[in-house]
């Protein structure tokens, strides 16, 4: 009789063990089957995407440019200016494309330049060398284009009908944080036509790359050079 009772107890205990989740080999927990690292992977992808949306990261000699001088513009580095130009072009993505130098060209139906430029080290090195040459006393290359608001910052441009389109501008402390008269901002119609909705001209109307150079002339004075390439 005792042996029968012991057998019954053993059978009952064994049955309870099989019924407890996680103890039996055939049981799978739905919650446990989800990888615990999923959210971490998502964060990494998002961070990388931010850089990609601006066309890459600055490299080359220009990346070492002074990071404490912004001429009261909020743009301290070549990366800052690169991102600013891409944001400028994207902001006007619905605007009619413009073909030609500011105030000399015409509007077109099709945008043939990339809205978001890709950083190019070779163009950046060339732009940096040009910025330093101008700082050393050289004349900016190309034609001088006045700011739409005549008393404020102009820029110089050349090569629109070639593989490389160059813009040279000087940011100064004279505006004391006022972005309205800056050579590179949307308040300046010359910049809108020359940069924001520019699509090039002739056979060289497929610019996809951009390099930026920065040369500090003095405290809060900067020579910037942009070179757009195909």
- Write the pLDDT tens digit of every residue in 46-87: 333 333 446 776 655 554 566 788 988 899 999 999 999 999
pLDDT higher at 29 or 101 = 101
What local confidence, expressed as pLDDT, does residue 178 receive? 56
Angle at 79 between CA 187 and CA 73, to 5 degrees: 35
Beta strands of the chain (E only): which ranges? 98-99, 106-107, 118-119, 143-145, 155-158, 164-171, 209-218, 221-229
Tell how many helices (H) and how many strands (E) occur in the chain: 5, 8
Instruction: Tell me, rounded to whole angstroms, the distance of Cα 158 from its chain centroid.
Output: 23
Q: Report pLDDT digits (tens) over 167-177.
A: 999 998 776 55
Indicate the pLDDT class of residue 3, thresholds 50, 70 and 90. Answer: low
Instruction: Tell me, rounded to whole angstroms, the distance of Cα 71 from its chain centroid.
Output: 21
Which whole-number Å values give the CA distances from 15 to 1, 5, 171, in the listed order?
A: 21, 15, 82
For the whole prediction, is pTM greater than 0.75? Answer: no
pLDDT at position 45 over 70: no
Evaluate whether 144 touches 172 at the Cβ level (below 8 Å): no
What are the structural domains, with CATH classification, of the chain?
A: 72-229 (3.40.33)
* Calpha distance 221→81 (Å, rounded): 15
Q: Report pLDDT digits (tens) over 179-224.
A: 667 999 998 999 999 999 999 988 999 999 999 999 998 778 999 9
1 exposed, middle or buried (CB, 10 Å; 0-12, 13-18, 19+)?
Answer: exposed
pLDDT at position 129 over 60: yes
């Amino acid at each position: 009789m005792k042996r029968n009772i012991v057998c019954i107890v053993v059978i009952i205990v064994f049955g309870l063990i099989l019924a407890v989740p996680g103890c039996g080999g055939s049981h799978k927990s739905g919650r446990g089957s989800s990888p615990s690292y999923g959210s971490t992977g998502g964060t990494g992808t998002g961070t990388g995407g931010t850089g990609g949306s601006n066309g890459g990261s600055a490299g080359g000699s220009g990346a070492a440019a002074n990071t404490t001088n912004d001429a009261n513009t909020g743009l301290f580095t070549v990366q800052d200016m690169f991102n600013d130009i891409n944001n400028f072009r994207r902001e006007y993505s619905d605007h009619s494309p413009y073909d030609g130098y500011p105030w000399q060209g015409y509007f077109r139906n099709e945008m043939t330049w990339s809205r978001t430029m890709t950083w190019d080290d070779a163009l950046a090195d060339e732009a940096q060398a040009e910025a330093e040459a101008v700082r050393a006393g050289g004349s900016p290359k190309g034609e001088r284009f006045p700011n739409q608001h005549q008393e404020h910052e102009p820029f110089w441009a050349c090569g629109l009908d070639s593989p490389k389109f160059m813009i040279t501008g000087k940011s100064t402390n004279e505006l004391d944080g006022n972005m309205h008269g800056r050579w590179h901002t949307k308040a300046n119609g010359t910049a809108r036509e020359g940069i924001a909705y520019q699509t090039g001209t002739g056979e060289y109307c497929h610019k996809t790359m951009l390099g930026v150079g920065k040369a500090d002339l003095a405290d809060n004075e900067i020579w910037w050079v942009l070179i757009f390439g195909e």
